Structure 1
Amino acid sequence: MEIAVSKDGTRLAYDVVGAGPALVYITGATCFRKFRPILGDVKVFGTKFSVYNYDRRGRGDSGDTAPYAVERELEDIEAIIDAAGGKAHLYGHSSGAVLALEAALRMPDKVDRVVIYDAPYVHDETERRSYRELAEKVAGLLSDEQNGRALKVFLRGIGMPAPFVALLPAFPGWKSMKALAPTLRYDIGLTEEVPPLDRLAKIDVPVCISVGAKNPVGLHHVAEQLAKTIPHSTHRVIDGQDHMVSAKVLLPVLEEHLTAR
């Protein structure tokens, strides 16, 4: 484990796996760097990249400093990029995709190229209302310190298969997942509105916007909007994949986009 220090003094734990161009992996909700699925991804990506796998603030071995703001998470990403030498590629999954886009917008001198997968902004007013209802349920459970229930309600609410959610307590990382449940508030804040297209149109680094073919229509709609809006972007629909994308399937997309010149 290595440590980077963010601008507000928050300590960020990270590991570096593999050899090749620096790739910062920005994970989604309920994930942390030692979570088994994340370790599997990093092992695969590390065959072609130097993967900087970090715990987002409030998760795993990283600290957290109140009050939360998106800007603090972007400063965290900058600290990891600086640890990688001052410039890096970004891969963002789910809510991590939202952070990757914001980082590309705000620090084009430090972000080389970006791949995102399943950016989960709400896609219309109906989804916005239902997502806010879900957010209220989750917030209530977190206030009552029912972290496990909050996690399950959130994951089922965003469409995770019920059998998968039911099995989560058997995962070795379940205890850590429950401990980081309060950070669901951060992820909900990142994704509770439609994409800010006016701002994202100013991104000036190459972005590959990927989405799983088996995902709900809303994720496809968002990906299409982003691809039409962001200038130097490509749009990839990954056959046979849902939100839990296979790292082996995604690796060729990362290679193609991030090593192209």
Structure 2
Amino acid sequence: MLPPKIKRLTREYLYRKNLEGKQRLLYEKKRKIREALEEGKPIPTELRNEEAALRQDIDLEDGNTAVPMSHIDDEYVNTQRDPKILLTTSRDPSASLIQFAKELKLVFPNAQQMNRGGQVISEIIETCRAHDFTDVVLVHEHRGVPDGLIINHLPFGPTAYFQLLNVVTRHDIKDKKTVGTMPQVYPHLILNNFTTKHGGPKSIELKEIGPRFELRLYKIKLGTVDQNEAQTEWVFRPYMNTAKKQKFMGN
């Protein structure tokens, strides 16, 4: 059972998320009004009854309020908080799963690995909420082979479920000379002041550092991983496994 406070906050989170559809519809109406005014065209017939109210809203907007923000934007706007990730495994993990989890920890910046022990999922989620973790990553296996990965965003979700395929740990890569050293620094992108060309086709060299694996998303839930009653936002169906549908999902 979730504490009353968490239940209330979860309801508020889902309510804000549901409002996004209405805000997007209102944004589209105002966008059509703006375009008509800028291009000197007549106001669309379906918006004439709302024109006065919409134009009043447009006059009051600025650069920060003209485009609707999502619940995801609300979480990260004006904050410098880095993700704080807990990584753990299913119960009684094999040696190969433990090794994969250790290497996976180095893939996610600011990740902490925890031995699962006898803890149930609900206890792990509640502890992570109390200690301001932003995400929980769970790795599963079948007969000693890592085959599943769950990413649970905190405090209220969503939760993404992935199938793990073709896992090869750094430990299992045979040619040790080709495996680069695992960096201990946070990855970062520099996007400003690119005024000159840098490098070229012959001067770029990439090294595999591992681990090597493929991820296949098959389900997204709106709640946390311990909430069986949480609504399923998306799930992979067999009929999606066609060339046309795969192309659509890949766009």
**Class of the TM-score when normalised by the shorter of the 2 chains:** under 0.3
Q: Which has the larger radius of gyration?
A: 2
User: What TM-score results when the alignment is normalised by the length of structure 1?
Assistant: 0.26
